[in-house]
Structure 1
Amino acid sequence: MARKIRDIMTGSPTSVSPDLDIVTVARAMRDEEIGAVLVAEGDDLLGVVTDRDLVIRGLAAGGDPAKAAIGGLASSVTATIGPDDSLDKAAQIMRERAVRRLPVLEDGRPVGIVSIGDLAIEKDSASALADISAARSTF
């Protein structure tokens, strides 16, 4: 059983510039089959955008998504975790902050992302969340 975040995180997370348009980011998320991207300038993490953010804060807000910058949709990062931190610490942070994904930072720069599904697969592989999280995308 994995004991550290580095054992279960998705490494090399997709990062986008805050100036990139919503449509381009949505297509990248589709093509890479991911549900979240980090918004960064160089090694400076500015925020996180999820597929839900694209719909709720992007499309439903109106305007032209081909012209709207993704930086305007990003949630500020309220918590991060290190690659050598424990899975229990990640679960505690997610519970306390009510977040489903945590950016993983090493020496102040993003090196991964860990999701509640990643934790479920590792900590309770028999759970419904683990089953759903482990399933391959069909789109």
Structure 2
Amino acid sequence: MKTLRQILDEKGTEVFSVTPDATVLDAIQAMADHDIGALVVLDGEMLVGIITERHYARRVFLKGKSSPKTKVRDIMTTPVVCADPGQSTDQGLALMTEKKIRHLPVIRENRVIGIVSIGDLVKSKISDQRFVIDQLERYISG
């Protein structure tokens, strides 16, 4: 079973962020530009929140607010649920399920070193299961 660190090593550790004073339009544009569904919100290097496409849909669009006028700080989630790079994919999935979140920042020494999505963890889990199935099939055949 892989750790979150191993998942980040495979997918990459680039972290896209926005400041709390950025507009929601800026955040949504950054997500679209990078083809991602969430941004961490940093004040300097300090993690202060997270904003997702879901935040936009539920807290801006459906409420009739203006994306160019609404600040990220007004719709972000804080405090942020985070994980340690040494945690397993199962631990990450359990945490995400319990907290009903789809994006999990991975923190080391109070610094965001990456973000894993539920899709990243499910993909890893399926890969692990496929490996075990292949090994069992080889054992049975041999």
What TM-score range do you get, normalising by the shorter chain? Answer: 0.7 to 0.9
Q: Distance in 2 between matches of 1:84 and 1:15?
A: 23
Following superposition, the deviation at residue 79 of structure 1 comes to 2.1
Match of 2:123 in 1: 121
Q: Distance in 2 between matches of 1:7 and 1:13?
A: 16
Following superposition, the deviation at residue 84 of structure 1 comes to 2.1
Match of 1:48 in 2: 50
Q: How does 1:97-136 map to 2 (within 5 A)?
A: 97-125=99-127
Match of 2:136 in 1: none
Structure number with the higher helix fraction is 2
Q: How does 1:61-72 map to 2 (within 5 A)?
A: 61-72=63-74
Q: Distance in 2 between matches of 1:63 and 1:123?
A: 39
The one-letter code sitting in structure 1 at the alignment partner of 2:43 is E
Following superposition, the deviation at residue 125 of structure 1 comes to 4.2
Q: How does 1:21-40 map to 2 (within 5 A)?
A: 21-40=23-42
- TM-score, normalised relative to structure 2: 0.80
Following superposition, the deviation at residue 60 of structure 1 comes to 1.9
Cα deviation code 1:61-89 (max 9, x no counterpart): 22321111011110124421112221121
Long gaps (5+) in structure 1: 128-139
Long gaps (5+) in structure 2: 130-142
For 1:75, which of 49, 74, 77 is the aligned residue?
77
Q: Is the 8 A contact 1:12 1:112 kept in 2?
A: yes
Following superposition, the deviation at residue 96 of structure 1 comes to 1.9
- TM-score, normalised relative to structure 1: 0.82
Root-mean-square deviation (CA), in Å? 1.9
Q: Is the 8 A contact 1:17 1:40 kept in 2?
A: yes
Give the SS at the match of 2:124. helix
The one-letter code sitting in structure 1 at the alignment partner of 2:87 is D
How many residue pairs get aligned? The number is 126
Give the SS at the match of 1:104. strand
Cα deviation code 1:14-36 (max 9, x no counterpart): 11100001111111111110000
Q: Which has the larger radius of gyration?
A: 2
Q: Is the 8 A contact 2:60 2:67 kept in 1?
A: yes
Please identify runs of 4+ aligned residues in structure 1 that moved more than 2 A.
Answer: none
The one-letter code sitting in structure 2 at the alignment partner of 1:8 is I
Q: Distance in 2 between matches of 1:38 and 1:68?
A: 17
